[in-house]
Structure formats: C-alpha cells, structure tokens
Amino acid sequence: MLRAARYLLGSPGGNGFGSKSTAEDVTAACPDLASATAIITGATSGIGAETARVLAKRGARVVIPARNVKAAEEVSARVRDECPGADVLVLPLDLSSLASVQAFAHRFLAMGLPLHLLINNAGKFSHGQLALSEDGVEMTFATNYLGHFLLTKLLLGRMVETAAATGVQGRIVNVSSSVHSWFAGDWAEYLDLVTRRKIAYDATQAYAVSKLANVLHTKELAMRLKEMGANVTVNCVHPGIVRTRLNRDREGLVTDLVFLLLSKLLKTIPQAAATTCYVAAHSRVAGVSGRYFADCNEALPSPAATNRHDAHRLWQISESMLLSSARVTQQHHHHTDDADTS
C-alpha cells in the first residue's frame, strides 16, 4: 500500500528519483557518455526511442537494430535534428529469428566498434492465435527473450574486451515487466505444451513467461559474469505501465475508457524510459549486478523470478534451443544443396 502511494505521489526513493522522474532527469548528472557505444533494441518507438534520444543527447554513440529499418532511420533523423553531431547507426535485426540475430552480431562485430551498453528493450505482445517463429519457438518468447539471450551471448566478448581496455564498466539492461509476476507455474512445461498445442494459447500468459525469463536470465548472467571476473554488470528493469504500441493495438471504447481512468497511473514515455536510463548510466549503479529495478529504485521481483535453480535451468534450456535451431538450419541448407546438385 505504501509503495502504491509513493508511486502515485511520485515520491523519490533513496537515490532522489521516483516514478515521476524522466530519462533526462536521471541522466542530467551522469558523466559524459561521449566515449560510450550503446546498442538499444526496440528503439523505433516508445520507450526505446526515448532511451536512444536521451543517451545520444548525453553523447553516446547509439546503434539501433531494427526489423523496420525505415522507422529506425526516422528515429535516427529526429535524434540528429535535436542533437547535431549525434552518432546514430541503424542495422537490420529481427529478434524472432536466430539467424537474423547472428547476422546482426556478425555485422556489428566486424565494424570493430567498442561496446559499453547493451539495452535489451524490444518487446512483443502477440494478440490472438499461437504463432511460432521460424525456429519453431513461441513468438513472444522468441522475440522478448530467446533473441535477446543469443544477442547478449554473441556480444558479451566485445563488452568484456571493451571494459578491460577502457577501464569503464560495461552494463547490460534487460527490460522486463511487473507482469512477470503473473506467471507462477512451470514455465518450461508451459512453453512445451503451448508449442505442441496441448493447451490453449493465452497471449497474456505467454507475455508473462517471456518477462519472467528476462528476470531469470539477468540472475544467472550476473552470477556467470562474476565468476568470469568480467567488469560488466547486468540488471533488469520494470519501466512502468505506459501506453505504447505494445498495448495500443487493443483499441476500442472499453480500452479507451480504461486508459482514461488509469491515466493518472500511466507513465509518460519520458518517465517510462527513466529506469532504463538510470540503470544504464548513473554512477550510483556502478558495481550493482543481478538486481531488479522499478521507478528508478531497486525493487523485489516475484518469488518465481528469484529461484536460482530455475535461472540455471532456463540457461540450459536456452542453450539447447539454440543448438536444435542450428541443427534445423544445417538440415535446411543440406536439403537445399541436394536440390541444387540434383
């Protein structure tokens, strides 16, 4: 109850920031980010676009991977209009496709750029029927979690190298949601049953599972980074509820009425991007890893999201999903080669 009251009032936490703080507020006192390179997924609209704008304004080179390259170029142009001289790069990426993630990582690494910040922000809410990715994975999980898992895995070496060479700590930010707490069952069994169409598809449950995976991934990766002795941290954030493209698809009188009533609870996009920017750039978060943040302050995720065994199990399952996808791709190429020679 106290937390809800603080949220409504926008009362700042121990760090001086709260639910009403904006991305510009939390980065105002940040050291100059002119030497930093940041990759931000899902930056073609909403929270991601605001995150890209503010980090570029503070001097960072921003890389926007996007399925819709045209939309990303428009964001890039707007950022450069506001911040002449801003360095914004756009590269193609479809997070639901593991082959596309590999192609993006290969292109980025070949550019020889350093990498200080990786912000896994992109999110998808599937409306309607079950959809599977080209790798045979439930689409919401593939986009929100598995694509980011592979992206992080492929870019981690560059982040570790950059931190070692510059002495500046690398930071990974996984954007989750408080909706992760809406799922409390066995997520592995749920994904298996849904994929094999053994149980009815529920878009909200699928979204909750993908966001729970984001928190568990953060927990396991933080432990692995510590064991490696890498000067890289990883944290997870709940941006808050905001009217973005994610839920704007559900238009209608009832939806509009609900949003009108909730408008006092909803964050503006600059407020929603604040927690991500705080965790990515503020000096107070230096050395902090494996934590969950909401309203720019550390918070507690659901009990299911703190299960160390589950975090390790998710990592193993994710690795096996990548392997099986690679085998499918190899078989496809093999069949294609056979067809070419016949």
Catalytic, 145? Answer: no
Alpha-carbon gap, residue 309 to 292, rounded angstroms: 18
Among the options 7, 190, 201, 292, which is catalytic?
Answer: 201
Torsion angle, CA of 196/197/202/207, rounded to 10 degrees? 20
Q: Rounded to an integer, what distance in angstroms lies between the CA atom of residue 289 and that of residue 200?
A: 37
User: Catalytic residue numbers?
Assistant: 201
